Chains A and B, each alone.
Chain A
């Protein structure tokens, strides 16, 4: 079985895919590396720390001196993937366009190599050896016989003395031919026959006088003809005929020689295939680490601390996708603190209180860490997990719509099957799709089962009493507890439907606090329903039933 850290749905719903999508890769090689990113598993703490250190190194140097990297970005942004041609050079003769592309890449590699040499001088730190490119200056010398160091390419005369001589011979013959044609045209012009620069003349057949005159000329022949007009052109005499066949012969010889040059260049490239491909690999990795560092600078991400124990501790964590969504609405993300250890933690509290967001945030932070990325938080302390799964309602899936409870149970069983020691399981609104009595019972059963496992479980639920299970930690969303309800009600009166929901949300306090006294659970659903204008007749009766 293939080992995997999380399934696709978990990566998608947690916002991991979104965050990885924010990585700005410059080269096709970096993009491949991004697609191939593999997570670090439990037991690989050291390797992960090393990777995170590299990200940290570039994050810091980028902040200190951004312009140092501008040249690299410029060089890398123009790189094209010609690894196919490099591979092909072993058995095929490369085309001129392919040679051009390889030469461009070789020039870029040299520029990047020389550029990174200055890293230590600038930041007084070593440039990580794993990104250091191997020199390819000898290949560049071969591909650039004029030593111009320009990204232009042609089978230059300098590649072959023979080619040079052949081309000169051909040019001379062509000049000769043109001279002879021009002499003829000149002679004709003196007799009143004007040819165009292509040594041709078109005459209408109705102009019988002109037709007759031209037809008699030995120097001209009918090149093209339709039933109304004739194109006369300069006839080639024996001498010109010889020149023409000579030109044709030289042309073929030139083509043969050019092919020979391409063949020898292809060979030179294939001899350096290993070096070139290893450089490509390194450029891809360098591109990826720069993208990680760049994202960390841009989105204010920090290096997570990796610990050997099984824990998830996040201070002032953020969820980038939700944060982006809120900022478009002009609202701020309320950072969340979480401190989870082996065992079950339940998040309870108000609707609209951001329980699901806290859940996704925890999942996202762990995934990002294990993929060697920095995390959106002020500080994070994490132990590596062997498996992570998020079970959250999927509003997109039509199956869930048809039987939400059935679908949820199906998924839950799959998650339990996949569960092993040091897993992290996150469940949103457990057993919410069925009647409350049974839902509560199932939740309680599940929670007490999970509490016995070497697993961190984070579960959001509406069923307050399920947290009674021994050893279960209960986090409560602060919600509207401290909100000024009178002020909120006043504001709501002047708001339209869309604004009302946003307004209530803006009074929400998303922070989590541990609920020790399990009796005193605030019931905010009624409060919210009331605030949003559900009739007093209903609210009053609901309160009555509750008591």
Chain B
């Protein structure tokens, strides 16, 4: 069965996220579009940024065009409408403004190359996705949204397809390690305890807080930060034997936990909004986990598949079979595709 058909059973909105620039996000998108065409799936396609350009602005490397088939729904800004080679029926002009004009929701009437761009905020992205599903798409592919809040569909949970490849490192071992690390982080467990979730989820403004157990019940306490900055030492000092959860706002880096006595790890659990807040490399992460570090998130990210691009834009490439089987060993439960060849395991 095709990758998309499998995923589509459970997920209606799928983001394609790249591990790095040129990890083959657009190649993945093209691959999935071809699959959808063969399977007869009606796709909606949108992007968090401008996509479908022939040149990647940052690195100057070739970026494949997005060729869309009839009946595909697509978001296109006004200024790119005339530049699309495919025939597009305008269904609706949205209120979402971009530098390239308002976003139009179009239906492809004549297959051809189309330049895609979507709204810039996550809320708008979510609304657009719903709109496309309402307009008849079987599923919506979103190019490049990491944060799961970007996609909100009431009927189904949403997930991501992670694009990775040779671009990450010249060492295949490193590519596999880093990819597996990201998948593991994305799949970190969510906080399940209802009381704790409620204590941490409210409050419009994000703050570093902790949940403490006092007199047999859980209470949330904000960590005072007169300077707006909480050092690792402050944090260590605040963590006592009644501390149960420590909610860290913003980035979760090594320096945040560097000065915390590892003996305290056993009795507490760190909580983050979502896994994209973690910026700790796989080696350090593994050491910390061994010392007993526990991390949960309010919202994790469902990795539905990993796609591999064995060729790096810098010019080198790996043997695709080898890369695929190594990756499969590291992530046995994840669907995988070589998007250059369509090969799977």
Which residues of A does B touch, CB under 8 Å?
80, 95-97, 100-101, 104, 151-156, 167, 170-171, 174, 194-198, 200-202, 204, 206-207, 224, 226-229, 231, 254
9 more CB-based (< 8 A) A-B contacts, given A104-B93, A226-B311: A101-B93, A194-B341, A196-B340, A196-B342, A197-B31, A198-B31, A204-B310, A228-B311, A228-B316
B residues near A202, Cβ cutoff 8 Å: 310-311, 317, 320, 340-341
B residues near A155, Cβ cutoff 8 Å: 87
CA distance A224 to B63 in the complex (A): 13
Please determine whether B317 and A154 come into contact, CB atoms closer than 8 angstroms: no
Looking at B43-51, B103-111, B185-193, B195-203, the stretch in contact with chain A turns out to be B103-111
CA distance A204 to B340 in the complex (A): 12
Once A97-B81, A174-B111, A228-B311 are accepted as A-B contacts, the answer to whether A196 and B341 lie under 8 Å apart by CB is yes
B residues near A207, Cβ cutoff 8 Å: 319
Please determine whether A204 and B317 come into contact, CB atoms closer than 8 angstroms: yes
Residues in B1-48 with C-beta less than 8 Å from chain A: 30-31, 34-35, 37-38
Please determine whether A228 and B90 come into contact, CB atoms closer than 8 angstroms: no
| In-complex Cβ contact of B91 among A96, A152, A227, A254 (8 A) | A152
**In the assembled complex, how far is the CB of residue A160 from the closest CB belonging to chain B, in whole angstroms?**
13
Tell which of A80, A167, A228 has the most Cβ of chain B within 10 Å.
A228
Please determine whether B320 and A228 come into contact, CB atoms closer than 8 angstroms: no
Q: Flag whether B270 is at the interface (Cβ < 8 A).
A: no
Q: Flag whether B318 is at the interface (Cβ < 8 A).
A: yes
Please determine whether B317 and A194 come into contact, CB atoms closer than 8 angstroms: no
A residues near B37, Cβ cutoff 8 Å: 197
Tell which of A174, A206, A226, A227 has the most Cβ of chain B within 10 Å.
A226
Chain B 202-238 near chain A by CB (<8 Å), digits 1 or 0? 0000000000000000000000000000000000000
Once A95-B82, A154-B88 are accepted as A-B contacts, the answer to whether A206 and B31 lie under 8 Å apart by CB is no
Q: Flag whether B343 is at the interface (Cβ < 8 A).
A: yes
A residues near B88, Cβ cutoff 8 Å: 96, 154
B residues near A100, Cβ cutoff 8 Å: 90, 93, 104
Residues in B139-173 with C-beta less than 8 Å from chain A: none
Q: Closest residue of chain A to B91, judged by CB?
A: A152
Q: Closest residue of chain B to A229, judged by CB?
A: B317
CA distance A228 to B166 in the complex (A): 12
**In the assembled complex, how far is the CB of residue B74 from the closest CB belonging to chain A, in whole angstroms?**
13
B residues near A156, Cβ cutoff 8 Å: 89
CA distance A95 to B315 in the complex (A): 42
**In the assembled complex, how far is the CB of residue B1 from the closest CB belonging to chain A, in whole angstroms?**
14
Q: Flag whether B78 is at the interface (Cβ < 8 A).
A: yes
**In the assembled complex, how far is the CB of residue B91 from the closest CB belonging to chain A, in whole angstroms?**
5
Please determine whether B104 and A97 come into contact, CB atoms closer than 8 angstroms: yes
**In the assembled complex, how far is the CB of residue A256 from the closest CB belonging to chain B, in whole angstroms?**
14
A residues near B109, Cβ cutoff 8 Å: 154
B residues near A194, Cβ cutoff 8 Å: 341-343
Chain B 286-320 near chain A by CB (<8 Å), digits 1 or 0? 00000000000000000000000011000111111
B residues near A197, Cβ cutoff 8 Å: 31, 34-35, 37-38, 342
Q: Closest residue of chain A to B81, judged by CB?
A: A97
| In-complex Cβ contact of B90 among A152, A167, A200, A226 (8 A) | A152
Q: Closest residue of chain B to A198, judged by CB?
A: B34
CA distance A198 to B310 in the complex (A): 17
Q: Flag whether B92 is at the interface (Cβ < 8 A).
A: yes
Q: Which 3 A-B pairs have the closest CB atoms?
A: A197-B34, A154-B89, A196-B342
Q: Closest residue of chain A to B76, judged by CB?
A: A97
Please determine whether B35 and A229 come into contact, CB atoms closer than 8 angstroms: no
Q: Closest residue of chain A to B110, judged by CB?
A: A167
B residues near A196, Cβ cutoff 8 Å: 31, 34, 339-342
**In the assembled complex, how far is the CB of residue A165 from the closest CB belonging to chain B, in whole angstroms?**
14
